Structure 1
Amino acid sequence: MPDADALIADAVAAVRGTDVRDAERKLDRLVVGTVDGPGVVDAALLGRLAAGLGRLWPRGWQPVDVARIVDRRLGARPGRLAVDALAAQRRDQAGPVPQWWDDQLAGLDARVRWNDDAGWLVGWAAREGEDRITALRDAVEVLALLAGLPPVAVLRPPPGGPGGAVATGPAGPSGSRILDRVRALLAKAESTTFPAEAEALTGKAQELIARHSLERALVEATAAHPDRPGGVRIGTDAPYAGAKALLVQEVAAANRCESVWSDDLGFATVLGFPADLEAVELLHTSLLVQATAGMLRGRRERRGGGRRTKAYDESFLHAFALRIGERLRGAADEANRQAVEAAGPERLLPVLAARSGAVRERMETLFPGVTRARLTVRDAEGWHSGTSAADRASLGVGVPPARSIPGRR
């Protein structure tokens, strides 16, 4: 009888193939297992999952990316199995591991919940209320998915290698009192039912973000070890993934960052300096909540009541994103003007130009073949409603919009 590793390898190869019957036969053989018992198979599965994850780290993947792609392609239950595998891989990881890596794992609640690897899968199935056959199938499907993932841009040095403990992007929630105030303001803007209050709160948040970013740029210009451009990935899940990616791009552009959308992988990659990347994540999260709430209100107010139509929703979200982008860029321009007056153009402008050049260089290095695509609007009512909602949620300053969607891989 084949050993556990051979049974698993055969099952994974069959699942990745096109012969459904062969895949079912190989999975059945895996269920039967070996003469040493099911625990041997289960421990071998966990080992292969951890090894598969370890091979992804030098190829640019991070824990949150893996959890997102498994959930997106296979579903929530296999996604939770992948989180267990992430915990096992971290337990066995050799070499230095940066704090931001462990922060991602903590955010996923990835922790070793079992005492013995041989009992891992049975314990996971019990928590899920499933049988072992279902658990085996999920594990093999996750293994097959991990084996087929393409390389992505390496945004930060992976753990275990040279530079593995060096951060080149946001290091998690900042201790800055300014950014703590920004988070509080945006939380209030998301929760209020009064558009004027949301506008005032979001405007104040953007003002503080711009001030913090410019102050950080001046400090870093004379630092012994200045910041370097890094990157973050922001999920753009269905429905309306393109509209969500457009919102990422507009917020990124207003904060001196570049954005590239990987539609097939379900995320946008944002490149920039750490303070600006944190601003993009904060603003995007809040504005997406506000856009969704505005879209739902618009459905209720439009002719025909709350019936959802794809054309209306997409047009609403596209218009919201572009209008928000106009106003954020206007606010950033005003903040820059005030900062130049205070610091002097000979001091600040060269710093900002150098940082913009560094971000563009990083973009061209990681994404040399990026393309752009035109935006199509299919519902005029949704477009006008989205623009009005953005007016209520944004900052009151406008410049001509850029009619394009994010760069695509």
Structure 2
Amino acid sequence: MSAWEIVERVRAGELDHETALDLLTGSPATEADAALTAALRGEFERLFTGGWQPVELHRAIARRGDPIQGRLVAEAATTFMIGREPVDDGWRAQAVQLQGSSEQRRRDRIAVLDASLGLLPELRRLPAVEILIPPPGTPATTVHHHADRRLLDRVRALLAKAEATDFPAEAESYSAKAQELITRYRIEEVTAPTAGVTAFARRIGVDHPYENEKAGLLDAVARANGCRTVWSPELGFSTIFGFDADIDAVELLHTSLLVQANRAMTRDEPAKGKARVKAFRRSFLVAYGIRIGERLREVTVREFSGHSDLLPVLRSRDVEVRAVMDKVFPHTVRTRASRVDSLEGWDSGRAAADEAVLD
């Protein structure tokens, strides 16, 4: 049986991994490498043209724990750009980022064969997703308007101080100031909109464990800042809809709040009992997300209270965000909220949310 036939039978599900690996190991190296490379190239092309961005695909594969497979994705993203113009700046930046972060050490050939063979069915299982950044060879269709980098740097600095301090009152002060900066920037943006800027979407990875609860926190942060989210648990990411500058702020704040939540959760969790710890953490994150959402809305309402004239504009922006979301996801399903099985975790989560820095 030729290497090409072996790979095709693996793709068709007719040959198990171990048997195929043994057969490929005994095949001529050039033939086996060519067959696997061609099969993987076809899957990468399907996924990249089908909406997957380099960082997204790398994350989906790398979370399985095989660094060689992550490296294969990084190499494929770079190769995919060759001869395809134009290349979106965001798409190119992701590919360059992956190449710079992937390990460069020499790899054993059998290990590469093993990783490549295992990667093939994983790629085949991934569906096409909505195209949010045009893939190489596709003209750009969206005008991006990211938040002022100076503002984001100030917000990031405040969050870093909030994450570093051991004093809740100090963290609260930094957090509130960060959210105020974000809200004031939104007011400036609403009063002086940039021509051609429209609502669009971005996918944000949500890591396990407790993905549902973390996605709930992201949704709470998004809603307080004029955005909406749709959670895709089977793919491990949420799609966030809004205006570019708002999404920048949401992503930054969500990341910081997760860091703060993890620190507080680890500090307060019970010392013994695996089931008890699991219930505590899940309940903690549910309460934390709900309370963070309440606090963010309080800050937003306070900052916008003197700008009632902006309400029609805000409503118009919200309608546009919802329209984009409904176009991408015409049929969404509301999921049942996570159970709260630990009163201790619930109380601790709300307390930690009150301490959190709201950037």
Which amino acid letter does the alignment assign opposite residue 320 of structure 2? A
What per-residue deviation string (whole Å, max 9, x for no partner) do you get for residues 345-388 of structure 1? 1xx22221111000001111111221112321110000000000
Equivalent position to 1:379, from 339, 342, 347: 342
1:206-221 correspondence runs (5 A):
206-220=179-193
Residue 104 of structure 1 corresponds to 94
Distance in 2 between residues matched to 1:218 and 1:50, nearest whole Å: 48
Indicate the SS of the match to 2:135: coil
Distance in 2 between residues matched to 1:235 and 1:292, nearest whole Å: 17
Equivalent position to 1:56, from 38, 47, 69: 47
What per-residue deviation string (whole Å, max 9, x for no partner) do you get for residues 95-128 of structure 1? 2111111222233235999xxxxxxxxxx7x535
**What runs of 5+ residues in structure 1 fail to find an aligned partner?**
114-123, 396-409
Residue 9 of structure 2 corresponds to 10
Which amino acid letter does the alignment assign opposite residue 283 of structure 2? S
Distance in 2 between residues matched to 1:44 and 1:111, nearest whole Å: 27
Indicate the SS of the match to 2:63: helix
Residue 297 of structure 1 corresponds to 267
- The alpha-carbon distance between structure 1 residues 77 and 192, as it changes in their structure 2 partners (threshold 3 A), is farther
Residue 399 of structure 1 corresponds to none
Indicate the SS of the match to 1:127: coil
Distance in 2 between residues matched to 1:100 and 1:154, nearest whole Å: 13
Structure 1 position 136 matched with structure 2 position 113: yes
Root mean square deviation, CA, Å = 2.6
Distance in 1 between residues matched to 2:298 and 2:148, nearest whole Å: 28
Relative CO higher for 1 or 2, CA cutoff 8 Å, sep ≥ 6?
2
Residue 331 of structure 2 corresponds to 369
1:217-228 correspondence runs (5 A):
217-220=190-193, 223-225=194-196, 227-228=197-198
Distance in 2 between residues matched to 1:9 and 1:93, nearest whole Å: 27
Residue 183 of structure 1 corresponds to 156
Residue 116 of structure 1 corresponds to none
How big is the shift at 1:28?
2.2
Indicate the SS of the match to 2:174: helix
Which amino acid letter does the alignment assign opposite residue 58 of structure 2? A
Tell me, yes or no, if the aligned pair for 2:159 and 2:256 is still in contact at 8 Å: yes
Distance in 1 between residues matched to 2:265 and 2:63, nearest whole Å: 23
1:150-165 correspondence runs (5 A):
150-163=127-140
Residue 72 of structure 2 corresponds to 81
How big is the shift at 1:283?
0.3
Residue 336 of structure 1 corresponds to 304
Which amino acid letter does the alignment assign opposite residue 238 of structure 1? H
- The alpha-carbon distance between structure 1 residues 243 and 198, as it changes in their structure 2 partners (threshold 3 A), is same
Residue 122 of structure 2 corresponds to 145
Tell me, yes or no, if the aligned pair for 2:162 and 2:357 is still in contact at 8 Å: no
Distance in 2 between residues matched to 1:298 and 1:170, nearest whole Å: 40
Worse overlay, 187-196 or 315-324: 187-196
- The alpha-carbon distance between structure 1 residues 317 and 112, as it changes in their structure 2 partners (threshold 3 A), is closer
Aligned length: 357
What per-residue deviation string (whole Å, max 9, x for no partner) do you get for residues 26-63 of structure 1? 322222233xxx24533553344333222213322111
Residue 20 of structure 2 corresponds to 26
- The alpha-carbon distance between structure 1 residues 386 and 263, as it changes in their structure 2 partners (threshold 3 A), is same
Indicate the SS of the match to 2:85: coil
Tell me, yes or no, if the aligned pair for 2:162 and 2:174 is still in contact at 8 Å: yes
Structure 1 position 68 matched with structure 2 position 59: yes
Indicate the SS of the match to 1:206: helix
Distance in 1 between residues matched to 2:12 and 2:202, nearest whole Å: 32
Structure 1 position 265 matched with structure 2 position 235: yes
What is the TM-score when the length of structure 1 is the normalising length?
0.80
- The alpha-carbon distance between structure 1 residues 356 and 93, as it changes in their structure 2 partners (threshold 3 A), is farther
Tell me, yes or no, if the aligned pair for 2:53 and 2:133 is still in contact at 8 Å: no
How big is the shift at 1:9?
2.6
Equivalent position to 1:388, from 347, 351, 356: 351
Indicate the SS of the match to 2:230: strand
Tell me, yes or no, if the aligned pair for 1:51 and 1:89 is still in contact at 8 Å: no
Distance in 1 between residues matched to 2:212 and 2:142, nearest whole Å: 29
Distance in 2 between residues matched to 1:76 and 1:169, nearest whole Å: 33
Residue 318 of structure 1 corresponds to 286
How big is the shift at 1:170?
6.7
1:339-354 correspondence runs (5 A):
339-340=307-308, 345=309, 348-354=310-316
Residue 277 of structure 2 corresponds to 309
- Could you tell me the percent identity over the aligned residues? 43
How big is the shift at 1:155?
2.0
Which amino acid letter does the alignment assign opposite residue 9 of structure 1? E
Which amino acid letter does the alignment assign opposite residue 77 of structure 2? L
Residue 201 of structure 2 corresponds to 231
How big is the shift at 1:93?
4.8
- The alpha-carbon distance between structure 1 residues 198 and 109, as it changes in their structure 2 partners (threshold 3 A), is farther
**What runs of 5+ residues in structure 2 fail to find an aligned partner?**
none
